[in-house]
Chain A
Amino acid sequence: MKIKLLDIAHGRSGDKGDAGNVGVIAYDDKGYEIIKKYLTEERVKEHFKGICLGKVERFELPNIRALNFLLHNTLGGGGTVSLKHDAQGKTLATAMLRMELEID
């Protein structure tokens, strides 16, 4: 079965130096089980191909049904140096939510 991440989760993104931080929060426990299982570092790295040029780190916050991702080498040098329109990674969260997941 194919599901849209947008339908089961929301989130927020921002910058940490040249890395983008993307928090993904499931709307319910079932949604958290899905993102915990399928939203792997590899899957996220593949999704952000051409955007995230470094490694992807994943952290779990089961207490708020959330995963936090650090997307390294993503913001064109970060903050004030970056020439990118979205130098602070504000739209990385919605870019993440474009993902479709094939689940069992």
Chain B
Amino acid sequence: MKEKIKIASGQGFWGDLIDAPYNQVMEGDIDYLVMDYLAEVTMSILQKQKNINPKFGYARDIPALMKRILPTCKEKGIKVITNGGGVNPIGCAEAIIEVAEELKISGLKVAVVLGDDIKDRLDELIEKGEDLNNMETGEEIITVKDKLLSANVYLGAFPIVEALQKGADIVITGRTTDTGLTLAPMIYEFGWAKDNYDLMAAGTVAGHILECGGQASGGNFLGDWQSVPDMANIGFPIAEAYPNGEFVITKHESLGGLVSFETVAEQLVYEIGDPKKYITPDCVADFTSIHLEDLGNNRVKVYGIKGEKETDTYKVSCSYADGYSASATLTYSWPQALTKAKAADQILRKRLEKLNLDFDEINTEFLGYNACHGPLSKKLDEDDINEIVLKVSVRSHDKNSVTRFGKEIAPLILTGPPGVTGFAGGRPKPSEVVAYWPALIRKDVIQTEVKILEV
């Protein structure tokens, strides 16, 4: 058993810094590179891409990245784990194999975790007694079943552990929890028992800290943000993990950013609910048991973590088409910028009303005035504001109404209040609204499978 392993975060979402994972591999020693590509909405986007081309449906940044890092990963024995397989993890693995062949790399095992995608199993599962009701609203699945774009179970760490046990150098999954990506190599390397819930919770907390990339190492840091060194070259966080469940959050010395008590604490409270019940497929972690010790020099020790037995359900994430939306902006200048923007909004609304269109919602915001903090915003001298961006957004189940809205924006320039600019890029077009449907499903109706592709 290894005495410690270094797990490096390479990506916090699909669209994150392209060079971050490259730098993690190149700028120092690591054992694992873990990359989270999937936000809740990402699966539906990937499903749409797959509908257009059956070869797509995964994060297509991955093969390009592999081309850059695969030789070094192979040489140093760095393993890569990512959920960027999306709704086509096999396609992703095949693309990586192609890259390896191109680079004349052999003896490479790419594992694929399957079983999370239940879109084609819904009827069967409902028949088996899984209601899949919306766990937030209680609504029945039948109300959206025909509009579903994707349906995936959040799998945990163990299918990845199985892949590593089968000798995988790279593990590609679909919908796996962000935390499972980091927990899995700890279970595998240290031989942790499934029912040692404190250890499961320790790896889960490490995963939570790594899952948003640079957000744990100085990015989006609300403390003394100006004290973060060299943000332009920010190094993503690295968990130096030990067999007893303790770990140190750090980063490569040569890169910028900051790892401190404060930066790690901010990430710990990010998007959590009840801190005593952080539920994952692998355990229920208690965030009130976490001890942080700032060791200085961009090292924060994390220890003392407690956990409890996992629940008997998986979370399911479904997405469905739910109408259309569009939004438009116009910029009004001094004097009376806000008054003009408000007048323009009223004129627009009157015109829309006359057209008898059908909107579920029309939302107006004044950027530069109160779009972020609403009624908490500081009062400004309304007639003396330098400029205001008027932003109007609409949502409707009637596509024509949204299209027509888009045609009413540019006319405001010549037939509305003066001193207006900033209209470019043509008429705003309707984009499909993808809504999210969270549900629970019993674990025993889900079977996972690990496939190995070799070159």
CB distance from A32 to the nearest CB of B (A): 11
Are B269's CB and A12's CB within 8 A? yes
Are A63's CB and B375's CB within 8 A? no
Are B435's CB and A93's CB within 8 A? no
Residue B266 at the chain A interface, CB threshold 8 Å: yes
Best-buried of B41, B266, B434 by chain A (most CB within 10 Å):
B266
B window 402-454: CB within 8 A of A: 433-436, 438
The residue that B375 contacts in the complex, of A50, A79, A84, with Cβ under 8 A, is: A50
CB distance from A12 to the nearest CB of B (A): 4
Residue A36 at the chain B interface, CB threshold 8 Å: no
- Chain A residues contacting B41 (CB-CB under 8 Å) are 79-80
- Chain A residues contacting B125 (CB-CB under 8 Å) are none
Are B434's CB and A80's CB within 8 A? yes
- Interface residue tally on A, bucketed by range: 35 or more
Are A10's CB and B376's CB within 8 A? no
B window 276-310: CB within 8 A of A: 276, 287-292
B window 222-265: CB within 8 A of A: 222-223, 262, 265
The residue that B361 contacts in the complex, of A62, A83, A94, with Cβ under 8 A, is: A83
- Chain A residues contacting B288 (CB-CB under 8 Å) are 60-63
Please choose the segment from B15-23, B29-37, B67-75, B388-396 that sits at the chain A interface, where 4 or more of its residues have CB less than 8 A away. B388-396
Total CB contacts across the A-B interface at under 8 A: 123
Are A68's CB and B376's CB within 8 A? no
Are B272's CB and A23's CB within 8 A? yes
Are B271's CB and A95's CB within 8 A? no
In the complex formed, the residue of B with least CB distance to A95 is B373
CB distance from B300 to the nearest CB of A (A): 11
In the complex formed, the residue of B with least CB distance to A18 is B136
Q: How far is the CA of A64 from the CA of B273 in the complex (A)?
A: 16
Are A70's CB and B273's CB within 8 A? yes
Are A12's CB and B372's CB within 8 A? no
Are B376's CB and A51's CB within 8 A? yes
Residue A45 at the chain B interface, CB threshold 8 Å: no
- Chain A residues contacting B374 (CB-CB under 8 Å) are 50-51, 95
Residue B162 at the chain A interface, CB threshold 8 Å: no
Q: How far is the CA of A24 from the CA of B262 in the complex (A)?
A: 11
CB distance from A47 to the nearest CB of B (A): 7
- Chain B residues contacting A68 (CB-CB under 8 Å) are 269, 272-273, 275
- Chain B residues contacting A66 (CB-CB under 8 Å) are 265, 268-269
In the complex formed, the residue of A with least CB distance to B375 is A50
Residue A2 at the chain B interface, CB threshold 8 Å: no
Residue B126 at the chain A interface, CB threshold 8 Å: no
Contact string against B for A residues 62-95, beta-carbon threshold 8 Å, 1 for contact and 0 otherwise? 1111101010000010111101111000010111
CB distance from B41 to the nearest CB of A (A): 5
Are A83's CB and B275's CB within 8 A? no
CB distance from A16 to the nearest CB of B (A): 6
In the complex formed, the residue of A with least CB distance to B366 is A85
Q: How far is the CA of A66 from the CA of B275 in the complex (A)?
A: 11
Are A23's CB and B391's CB within 8 A? no
Contact string against A for B residues 365-399, beta-carbon threshold 8 Å, 1 for contact and 0 otherwise? 10100011111100000000000000101110000
The residue that B327 contacts in the complex, of A14, A15, A83, with Cβ under 8 A, is: A83
In the complex formed, the residue of B with least CB distance to A69 is B269
Given contacts A76-B363, A80-B435, A85-B367, contact A21 B271 (CB under 8 A): yes
Q: How far is the CA of A24 from the CA of B272 in the complex (A)?
A: 12
Are B393's CB and A12's CB within 8 A? no
The residue that A83 contacts in the complex, of B262, B363, B434, with Cβ under 8 A, is: B363
8 closest Cβ pairs, A-B complex: A23-B269, A83-B393, A83-B363, A14-B271, A91-B372, A10-B223, A12-B266, A50-B375
A residues lining the B interface (CB < 8 Å) = 10-12, 14-18, 21, 23-25, 27, 47-51, 59-66, 68, 70, 76, 78-81, 83-86, 91, 93-95, 97-98
Q: List 5 A-B contacts (CB under 8 A).
A: A12-B220, A24-B269, A61-B275, A68-B272, A94-B222
